């Protein structure tokens, strides 16, 4: 076997089979590495998403790792833990539109109280269902890369006042402000930044308390930015008006807890599970990337990466060295 794909759900596996060249022998599983319980790498090249925990001992026998994700901080962390400069690649541009559209879906569902509307259908009354329109609302997008730029475009198209927060100002059409200036005016806060060792826990309790009361918080980038315990506390205090998450702190443990029904001792997993009971919270299973178009692009880009590595010994899109 040449390559093994972990975390490949059914539609993705079929798309990968379609795009891979016939001479590349591949295996597939929807499970993570830890869920499969593999003691050794099943192939010299492995491909994961973000929930697999790669054993450090594998670094000495693997040729390369391809993460089918835009983010790559988990690969940097693995190379540091394993003390091995193993070849690693990622997919930087396959899902920016898909994630941006899911972000729009989430903030609109919070604005219009979609969960409560669904619950109230059984009684067919409208008490407590008055929502809000997007036009004229202020949205602060923290992280204006490929995904953040698309989110800003969608917000602008809805007539919103869009403010970008980023350390680089690459888009002249975007109104950039420092977070401390933008946050008190935000009706909606969107996390769409890259995770680094320096910005973990970026949306702390003290930071989000500076947002105006009733603001909505949406995270589609990495769960490590916004610990669920912080969000739960701010909801309990009535400071946040709603939360929508597609990513989670301690996501591998949370996924295992939900799949197995055994929650374990991690406090942030317990806090994430507690968020499920809130009517003004929407939780999706790290699925923002998952459109027909993005899955096709992901499979095509994965095949390009693997073909390039097999023929040239390096990835077309390697992860940056940091």
* Per-residue pLDDT tens over the stretch 245-303: 999 999 999 999 999 988 778 999 999 999 999 999 999 999 999 999 999 999 999 99
Nearest to 68 by CA among 143, 145, 27, 13: 13
Per-chain mean pLDDT for the chain: 95
73 vs 236 pLDDT, higher one: 236
pLDDT in tens, 87-118: 999 999 899 999 999 999 999 999 999 999 99
Helices (H), 94-161: 96-111, 114-120, 146-157
CB-CB contact of 165 with 116 (8 Å): no
Query: pLDDT by residue (tens digit) across 208-250?
Result: 999 999 999 999 999 999 999 999 999 999 999 999 999 999 9
Tell me how far CA of residue 25 lies from CA of 38, 52, 109, 127, 298, in angstroms.
19, 21, 43, 58, 18
Give pLDDT, residue 322: 64
Q: What is the CATH number of domain 96-283?
A: 3.40.50.720
Structure token pair of residue 78: 């693995």
CA distance 289 to 279: 24
Domain boundaries, the chain: 3-94+292-312, 96-283
User: How many residues are there in the chain?
Assistant: 322
What is the predicted pLDDT for the residue at 320? 87
Whether residue 198 has pLDDT greater than 90: no
Residues linked to residue 162 through DSSP beta bridges, in sequence order: 139
Q: How much is the pLDDT for 39?
A: 94
Task: Answer whether 3-94+292-312 and 96-283 agree in fold.
Answer: yes
Q: Which helix (H) or strand (E) holds 11?
A: helix 10-19
Cα 58 to Cα 40, 120, 139: the distances in Å are: 7, 52, 44
Cα–Cα nearest to 140, from 190, 211, 208, 102 = 190
Per-residue pLDDT, 141: 98
Q: Is the pTM of this model over 0.85?
A: yes
Tens digits of residue pLDDT in 4-55: 999 999 999 999 999 999 989 999 999 999 999 999 999 999 999 999 999 9
What dotted CATH number matches 3-94+292-312? 3.40.50.720
């Amino acid at each position: 076997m040449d390559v093994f794909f972990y975390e490949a759900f059914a539609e993705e596996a079929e798309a990968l089979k379609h795009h891979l060249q016939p001479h590349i022998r591949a295996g597939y599983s929807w499970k993570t590495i830890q869920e499969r319980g593999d003691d050794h790498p099943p192939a010299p090249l492995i491909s994961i998403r973000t929930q697999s925990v790669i054993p450090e001992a594998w670094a000495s026998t693997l040729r390369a790792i391809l993460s089918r994700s835009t983010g790559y901080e988990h690969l940097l962390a693995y190379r540091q833990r394993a003390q091995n400069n193993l070849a690693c690649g990622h997919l930087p541009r396959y899902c920016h539109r898909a994630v941006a559209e899911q972000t729009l879906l989430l903030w609109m569902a919070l604005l219009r109280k979609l969960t409560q509307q669904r619950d109230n259908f059984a009684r067919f009354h409208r008490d407590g269902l008055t929502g809000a329109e997007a036009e004229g609302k202020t949205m602060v997008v923290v992280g204006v890369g490929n995904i953040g730029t698309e989110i800003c475009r969608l917000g602008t198209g809805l007539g919103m006042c869009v403010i970008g927060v980023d350390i680089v100002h690459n888009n002249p059409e975007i109104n950039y402000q420092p977070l401390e200036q933008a946050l008190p005016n935000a009706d909606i806060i969107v996390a769409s930044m890259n995770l680094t060792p320096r910005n973990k826990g970026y949306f702390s309790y003290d930071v989000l308390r500076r947002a105006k009361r009733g603001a909505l918080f949406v995270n589609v980038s990495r769960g490590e930015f916004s610990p669920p315990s912080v969000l739960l506390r701010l909801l309990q205090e009535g400071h946040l008006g709603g939360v929508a998450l597609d990513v989670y702190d301690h996501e591998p443990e949370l996924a295992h807890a939900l799949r197995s029904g055994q929650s374990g001792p991690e406090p942030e997993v317990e806090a994430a599970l507690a968020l499920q009971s809130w009517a003004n919270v929407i939780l999706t299973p790290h699925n923002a990337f998952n459109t027909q178009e993005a899955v096709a692009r992901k499979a095509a880009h994965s095949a390009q990466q693997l073909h390039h590595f097999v023929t040239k010994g390096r990835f077309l899109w390697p992860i940056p060295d940091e």
